[in-house]
């Protein structure tokens, strides 16, 4: 291996370690309570190393928040409504351990400080779920008069609220159960009965694809 390749690999590892430390720090202290020094210290690196890779605390927060959806990849293949269910269940389970998702959750109210409204996490997730709902519509899974945008806004809002309340009550431990409960409340209004009966919620739906 040449010296240059070693250097590049080291740079990639350093960058990843800083992002990981940033996520843990944001998850623990929130945006206001996090400083670049705290992040560098947690990564066991210097402030110089941090500023070599990232411009600011704001840039780190932005990368963490916008990077959430690509982390949430259900292991099982599915389509339409079942894919929307799998996505939210996978997110809920994964949030229990993943510092990036925990940080994203903690930063949700502070996004205006470091992210453009057009790409905030609310817009990201509604866009993704709307695709699932459009597919569900094409697959004739939805009741005829369902306002898909209204339901998607309700689902994303309800996941945000459940995340906040379960954080207060059980350090998120109840989040997967709350997400399943949300779907059980909504499916009778949303889905044609034959589809509503077939939607699955078992733990296998919530497993992340190994990368």
Whether the CB-CB separation of 82 and 121 falls below 8 Å is answered with: no
In whole angstroms, give the CA distance from residue 190 to residue 112.
32
Beta carbon of residue 179, minimum distance to its own copies (angstroms, whole number):
10
Residue numbers at the binding site for its own copies (CB under 8 A)? 30, 32-33, 106, 108-109, 111-112, 117, 120, 122, 147, 150-151, 153-154, 156-162, 164-165, 167-169, 178, 181-182, 184-189
Q: How far is CA 18 from CA 7, 33, 42, 110, 166, in A?
A: 16, 17, 8, 20, 28
**Which one, 55 or 184, has the nearer CB to its own copies?**
184
In whole angstroms, give the CA distance from residue 155 to residue 38.
35
**Which one, 76 or 146, has the nearer CB to its own copies?**
146
**Which one, 76 or 96, has the nearer CB to its own copies?**
96
Beta carbon of residue 136, minimum distance to its own copies (angstroms, whole number):
15
Beta carbon of residue 35, minimum distance to its own copies (angstroms, whole number):
12
Beta carbon of residue 54, minimum distance to its own copies (angstroms, whole number):
22
**Which one, 23 or 162, has the nearer CB to its own copies?**
162
Beta carbon of residue 133, minimum distance to its own copies (angstroms, whole number):
12
Whether the CB-CB separation of 66 and 124 falls below 8 Å is answered with: yes
**Which one, 73 or 186, has the nearer CB to its own copies?**
186
> Tokens at residue 83, please?
């894919």
In whole angstroms, give the CA distance from residue 98 to residue 54.
21
Place of tokens 């992040």: 39
């Amino acid at each position: 291996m040449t010296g240059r390749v070693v250097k590049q690999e080291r740079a990639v590892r350093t960058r990843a370690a800083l992002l990981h430390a940033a996520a843990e720090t944001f998850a623990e202290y929130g945006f206001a309570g996090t400083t670049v020094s705290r992040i560098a210290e947690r990564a066991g690196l210097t402030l110089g190393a941090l500023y070599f890779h990232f411009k600011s605390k704001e840039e780190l927060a932005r990368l963490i928040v916008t990077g959430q959806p690509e982390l949430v990849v259900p292991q099982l293949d599915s389509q339409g409504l079942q894919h929307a269910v799998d996505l939210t269940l996978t997110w809920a389970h994964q949030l229990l351990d993943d510092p990036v998702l925990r940080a994203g959750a903690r930063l949700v109210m502070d996004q205006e400080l470091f992210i453009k409204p057009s790409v905030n996490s609310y817009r990201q997730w509604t866009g993704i779920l709307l695709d699932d709902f459009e597919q569900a519509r094409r697959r004739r899974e939805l009741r005829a008069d369902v306002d898909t945008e209204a339901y998607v806004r309700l689902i994303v809002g309800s996941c945000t609220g459940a995340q906040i309340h379960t954080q207060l009550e059980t350090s998120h431990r109840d989040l997967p159960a709350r997400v399943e409960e949300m779907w059980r409340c909504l499916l009778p209004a949303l889905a044609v009965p034959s589809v509503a009966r077939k939607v699955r919620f078992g733990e296998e739906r919530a497993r992340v694809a190994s990368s």
